[in-house]
Amino acid sequence: MFDLSVKVAIPENSIISNNMNASYVYCCLKKRYIKNKKYNSDKRVTIGKVDPSDPTTMFPNENFKKLFPNEYESIKIDERVNDKIQFSEAISFGQTALFHHLFKDTSLEDILKRNLGSKSFDDETTTNNVFNLACCFLLTQNSSVINYPYFGRDHLILGNTIYSDSTMGNIISSISKQQCNEIMKEWLLLHAKNEGIFLSIDGSNTPSNSEDLELVDVGHGKSGLEENQFSYTLITEQNFRRPLLLEEYNGSIHDLNAVGPIIKFLNKLKVKKIKFLLDRGYFSAKLMKSLLNQNHDFIMMAKECKKTRELIDSYFEDVKSFDKYIPEHDLNGYTVVRKLFDHYDKTVCYHLYFNQERYNIEEKILKQNIALDCQTLTSMKGKIINENDYEILSRYYNIKLDEKNTLVDFSYNKSKVMNVLKYKGFFVIITSYMATAAQAYTEYHSRDYTEKMIMMMKTNEQFDVCRVHDEEHLTGKTLAMFVGLILRNELYLKTRELREKTKDKKLYTTSNCIRELGCIKAIYDKEIGYYNNRALTKVQNNIINACGMSKSQMSGALTKFNLGF
């Protein structure tokens, strides 16, 4: 936030960036040489906004006060305004009060307080504002820290102080990677029970062009194109249905290569009886062998390859037999126990499935692709075909080229098409342990929960937008987003029984629960502070009761907030 009531001279050697609507003043803190990228990078922070009426002066912000304390102190006291931003006369307190109850109930608050804190900000201040920022991301569905002061003004927040966006930036940048790792470690060990732990792993990418983020590199994006990005891995526990770990890594690293360090991390923590749930993106004989050697179980979707095609060829009729029909899943399933490698003693279960509906869809898509390739080849007659186009267009057609690689003629290759069609509708799931085809299918599809978590991060917390430009801020922001993800997930789990019992399922969706809680407001009175003069509705009561919170605890949160002034 810029202090528009005070003007100061722009310091020497400042960098001015001209945007469409305003000009901002930056201070270079340090220069560093990025060895692998072979260029210098400035570490800059904003210190003010240029006064349009006088380009030699600017309106300072919190960074200016921190970096130029003598210059700021020299300003006359009566020219300065109070840094404290005042709360609105009507605030929403239902959402943050309930989320704080869940924050304590899950032991997250205690874990954060034990591990956070720095010279600039103590453990309580840092913990409170990580929670406040998590709620801001969650309730505004926007991951920009700039929005925080406006959010804080209208909500009950921990600590009773609305910090400016630059101070919030300083708080999250004070959180080290080591502190984050300790928090993730404690949170994960909290869920590691003697009977074992069932972990699902999935990854995604966030585009970024920031030069100060060393994690940003060219990688294969979800759009299928190469782009500048950093990647992250999310681990969820399938029995408790909770996100356990969120880790960022270099954008050029494939998801498969990111699993190794995670397994080492879990082994270092001496977590026992781990079962991994992995999608086809992690399919690798090397990874399966590594997990078996370390006595970890796994369930994994296989990619179509020579091994799976051989299995389908060998058991084609058995899989499609009517007596292998699994009615609860509406598909056929057949289990084969085989060695992972011919020279390797340990065996795994290959569960072969055939889905007629899936076959019909894939057959239709195949026909559309064949027709499209025919149109493309017809239009390219007499034209030169490059190597990439030749590889794609020769999937279903015999192509005749002259010595200049000009397309002379083409013909439909029925045998190629029939060979491709043969494997449509089939898929293979591999387990390292004995299970029926029905059990393996049910367990694997519990992975939908992990995918929903990643979608929740992107949709409800805008995690697919970077909005930070250095490693320090990324670490703290990721922690705040991870806390927000846990809190929203807890609300989803606690209200699940309400959704099952109620005819109108939409009444207790997570989004509607958050909207209902947002209607619990308090009004300010000079004599008694903030008070709620309306009784809770039946829906609001049901939501807070489902989360293990009473009416008195809800009103107690408001009382505690008033005592903080």
- Coil/strand/helix, residue 4: coil
pLDDT at 223: 61
Say if CB 491 and CB 471 are below 8 A apart.
Answer: no
| Largest CA-CA distance found in the chain, in angstroms, rounded | 93
pLDDT at 528: 87
Please report, for residues 207, 342, 386, 433, the alpha-carbon distance to residue 219 in angstroms, rounded to integers and kept in the order given.
Answer: 10, 35, 25, 35
Q: Taking 90 as the threshold, does the pLDDT of residue 538 lie above it? A: yes
pLDDT per residue over 365-382, tens digit each? 999 999 999 999 999 998
Q: Mean pLDDT for the chain?
A: 87
pLDDT at 462: 77
pLDDT at 509: 93
Higher-pLDDT residue of 144 and 327 is: 327
pLDDT at 37: 66
Residue 150 to residue 162: CA distance in whole angstroms: 9
pLDDT at 441: 96
pLDDT at 81: 39
**Average pLDDT value for residue range 244-269:** 84
- Most confident segment among 138-142, 392-396, 429-433, 560-564: 429-433
Helix axes 123-140, 510-518, angle to 10 degrees: 110
**Average pLDDT value for residue range 140-156:** 88
Q: How many residues does the chain have?
A: 565
**Average pLDDT value for residue range 488-499:** 94
- Most confident segment among 70-84, 137-151, 214-228, 357-371: 357-371
Q: Which two tokens stand for residue 523?
A: 């009004």
pLDDT per residue over 4-23, tens digit each? 667 888 988 888 888 767 78
- What band does 357 get if pLDDT is binned at 50, 70 and 90? very high
Closest CA to 188 of 172, 199, 178: 199
Q: What are phi and psi of 384, to 5 degrees?
A: -75, 135
Q: Taking 90 as the threshold, does the pLDDT of residue 225 lie above it? A: no
Q: Taking 50 as the threshold, does the pLDDT of residue 77 lie above it? A: no
Residue 394 to residue 397: CA distance in whole angstroms: 5
pLDDT at 75: 66
pLDDT at 78: 39
pLDDT at 565: 64
pLDDT at 53: 86
Residue 526 to residue 433: CA distance in whole angstroms: 67
Q: Taking 60 as the threshold, does the pLDDT of residue 159 lie above it? A: yes
Please report, for residues 355, 359, 363, 440, the alpha-carbon distance to residue 366 in angstroms, rounded to integers and kept in the order given.
Answer: 16, 10, 5, 28
- Most confident segment among 29-38, 160-169, 317-326: 317-326
- What band does 517 get if pLDDT is binned at 50, 70 and 90? very high
pLDDT at 236: 93
pLDDT per residue over 380-412, tens digit each? 998 988 888 888 889 999 999 988 889 989 999
pLDDT at 222: 63
The edge-to-edge listing of strands for the beta sheet with 15-18 is 8-9, 54-60, 39-51, 23-34, 15-18
pLDDT at 341: 78
pLDDT at 83: 43
pLDDT at 80: 39
Q: Taking 80 as the threshold, does the pLDDT of residue 216 lie above it? A: no
pLDDT at 224: 62
Average the pLDDT over each of 38-42, 128-132, 151-155, 305-309 and give the range with the smallest value.
38-42
What is the value of pTM for the model shown? 0.80
Q: Taking 80 as the threshold, does the pLDDT of residue 277 lie above it? A: yes
